[in-house]
Chain A
Amino acid sequence: MTDHAHALETSTGLDSRKLAIWTFIGSECMFFATLISNYLVHKGKSLVGPFAHEAWTDPATGQVMEPIIEIPLVTVGTALLLFSSLFIVLALYGAQKGNRKMLLGWLAATLFCGMFFVGMQVYEFTHFVHKGLTLSRNMFGASFFILTGFHGTHVTIGVIWLLTMFVLALKGKLTPNRSLNLEMAALYWHFVDVVWVVIFPVVYLIR
């Protein structure tokens, strides 16, 4: 946790840690690109239901079942994740201006949204499993759970990171000259949000 005022005289004038987190984010683009490719190439390759958008017949009972995806709940989660991006940028603004109230308040709001999103995903996954969709059931289950699951893991790591920042802020250690610590977490958080901006239409809306 470095004193930002001591920032190095680097060749580019940019802080090395900020450059590092951007480099990492660039690398992560390829990580999610591969997962999204994996989802797309397996789209429509499920041999049995449940399907995402089409009704399906349960081979065991012969019953016709509803498509599995439920958009309203996910829309709420999506909106909250988007708002959390707004909240953390406001928290960062507070941190940079030394406004402790703003920092703590918006950071708490971000954390609430992040936790809600993870909770939403846990609920959704459990719900899907109850309806018979598992990793091994069909290709949709496999590629859906791995894509959204890895995104969820990233959100969870982000929540842990932001919790750490929250504790630092409470202790008064997130002073304006150390706000880069929060900025790095915020960049990661925005990236995770932006990945969801892609995943949401690709998985939930496109048939």
Chain B
Amino acid sequence: MTAHVTAEEHAHPTPGTYAKIGLILFVLTALEVGLYEITYGESAGSFGHSIQPFFIPLLLFLSAIKFALVAMYYMHLKTDSKLFSGVFVFPLIIASVVILALVALQAYHWAFARSGG
């Protein structure tokens, strides 16, 4: 067991990798806020207005990358046992589907209620 653990830890990234990931995370966060600024900020122009429909998907995409980076590198899912990934990702899938379903069901419900039906 001890030997097993050491072998596992050797596979873990080094501080240099951790720092690089940290930098990427920081840049992505800056991108998120920057995207908000050019879309809705005080200086947002016609370009900002034109990308409004893409704002939410882009933002969710950026935050999904951040999420995955932290989970894979900082939480070591990339190098650790696949069992840990399963125990985390399976609930994550159910959780995402439940969120989407509830939002859709409630959106329909409100639209229906407002139409006076």
Whether chain A touches chain B in the assembled complex (some CB pair under 8 Å): yes
Q: How large is the interface on B (under 10, 10 to 19, 20 to 34, 35 or more residues)?
A: 35 or more
Query: Cβ of A37: which chain B residues have Cβ within 8 Å of it?
Result: 98-99, 102-103
Residues of B contacting A29 with CB < 8 Å? 88, 91-92, 94-95
Q: Tell me whether chain B's interface is mostly helix, strand or loop, or mixed.
A: helix
Interface string of B64-103 (1 = CB under 8 A from A): 0011001101110000010110011011101110110011
In the assembled complex, the Cα of A8 lies from the Cα of B91 at a distance in Å of 27
Cβ–Cβ < 8 Å partners of A93 in chain B: 12, 14-15, 18
State in angstroms the CA–CA spacing of A194 and B95 once bound together.
14
Query: Are B99 and A9 in contact (CB-based, < 8 A)?
Result: no
**Distance of A33 from chain B, by nearest CB (Å):** 3
Does the CB pair A36–B99 fall under 8 Å? yes
Most B CB within 10 A of own CB, among A26, A53, A75, A89: A89
Residues of B within 8 A of A40 (CB): 99, 102-103
Asked if A5 meets B2 with Cβ closer than 8 Å, knowing A89-B74, A197-B67, the reply is: yes
As a 0/1 sequence over residues 49 to 63 of chain B, the CB contacts with chain A under 8 angstroms (1 = contact) are: 000000110011011
Q: From the candidates A12, A18, A78, A85, name the one contacting B74 in the complex (CB within 8 A).
A: A85
The chain B residue with its CB closest to the CB of A13 is B4
Contact (Cβ within 8 A) A206 B59: yes
Chain A residue at minimum C-beta to C-beta distance from B59: A201
Which partner residue on chain B sits nearest A177 by CB separation? Answer: B2
Q: Is the CB of A86 within 8 A of B95?
A: no
Do A90 and B18 form a contact, CB below 8 Å, given A4-B5, A13-B1, A207-B40? yes
Q: Is B22 an interface residue (CB 8 A)?
A: yes
Are B40 and A193 closer than 8 Å at their CB atoms?
no
The 8 Å CB contact of B22, one of A41, A83, A194, A198, is: A83
Contacts of A22 in B (CB 8 A): 84, 87-88
A33-B95, A37-B103 are contacts. A19–B32 as well, Cβ < 8 Å?
A: no
**Contact, CB under 8 Å: B1 / A9:** yes
Contact across chains for A190 and B84 when beta carbons are under 8 A apart: no
15 cross-chain CB contacts under 8 A: A14-B83, A25-B88, A27-B91, A30-B91, A30-B95, A33-B98, A33-B99, A36-B99, A41-B107, A75-B33, A78-B29, A82-B22, A194-B75, A197-B66, A198-B63
**Additional pairs, 15, CB under 8 Å, beyond known A9-B1, A82-B25, A90-B15:** A19-B87, A22-B84, A26-B91, A30-B91, A30-B98, A33-B94, A34-B98, A36-B99, A85-B74, A86-B22, A86-B25, A187-B75, A190-B71, A194-B71, A201-B63
